[in-house]
Amino acid sequence: MEKTSSTQDIVSQNELVRPPWQSLVNIEFLLIGDKIDFDDITAKLGFSPTTISKKGEPCKFINKCITEDCWEYSTGNIIEGDAGKLLREVCDLFKAKNKILKFVVKKYKTEIRINVVIYIKNGDIPGLYFEKDIIKFFYDIGAEIDVDMYVCESDAFGILGLNFIPGQSPD
């Protein structure tokens, strides 16, 4: 008599042959306003931004000028199957700065925006979830959340000029 595979055996076999994640995730924490003192905010938070953009500077991606100052902390594009995990890491970094963030928002009349950017490659869709404490933290600091998902052909990453975290390859 032939042995039949149980559902658990089939799942286990499929997990073993699953290819590595190929999609990219980037989490951005932005402080946006008209007149931001970048040095003061950096000193108060205790770490440097990934990027700062000043009102009136040319925009990198389109032919127009930046309309607001922006202090940005970004994870960069990381090959990841769990966007929620990266979101947790960024939130944990800023959670301890809750009072400082509220002070900065009031002093510089800034807004806080969380951008979750996902580049989907070969139908490989990373998980994305917002745990209760993360939602509460975003609410407490008055943050907006923006989720962008881009579906890319298998060779589109190079064409789009997407950068990767050193040591991690898209293929």
Q: How confident is the model at residue 28 (pLDDT cuts 50, 70, 90)?
A: very high
The residues facing 111 across adjacent strands are 32
- 157 pLDDT more than 80: no
> Hey, how many other C-beta atoms are within 10 angstroms of the C-beta on 13?
10
Token digits for 64?
A: 């127009």
CA 157-164-98 angle, 5° bins: 120
- Please report the pLDDT score of residue 22 as a whole number: 77
Full 3-state SS string of the chain: CCCCCCHHHHHHHHHHHCCCCCCEEEEEEEEEECCCCHHHHHHHHCCCCCEEECCCCECCCCCCECCCEEEEEECCCEECCEHHHHHHHHHHHHHCCHHHHHHHHHHHCCEEEEEEEEEEECCECCECCCCHHHHHHHHHHCCEEEEEEEEECCCHHHHHCCCCCCCCCCC
Q: How confident is the model at residue 63 (pLDDT cuts 50, 70, 90)?
A: confident
The residues facing 24 across adjacent strands are 79, 119
Q: How confident is the model at residue 171 (pLDDT cuts 50, 70, 90)?
A: very low
- 61 pLDDT more than 80: no
**Burial classification of residue 17, based on how many CB atoms lie within 10 Å of its CB (0-12 exposed, 13-18 middle, 19 or more buried):** exposed
- Please report the pLDDT score of residue 167 as a whole number: 38
Model confidence over 68-86: pLDDT tens digits? 999 999 999 998 889 999 9
CA nearest neighbour of 24 among 86, 76, 77, 73 = 77
Domain positions in the chain are 26-160
Higher per-residue confidence, 147 vs 152: 147
Q: How confident is the model at residue 118 (pLDDT cuts 50, 70, 90)?
A: very high
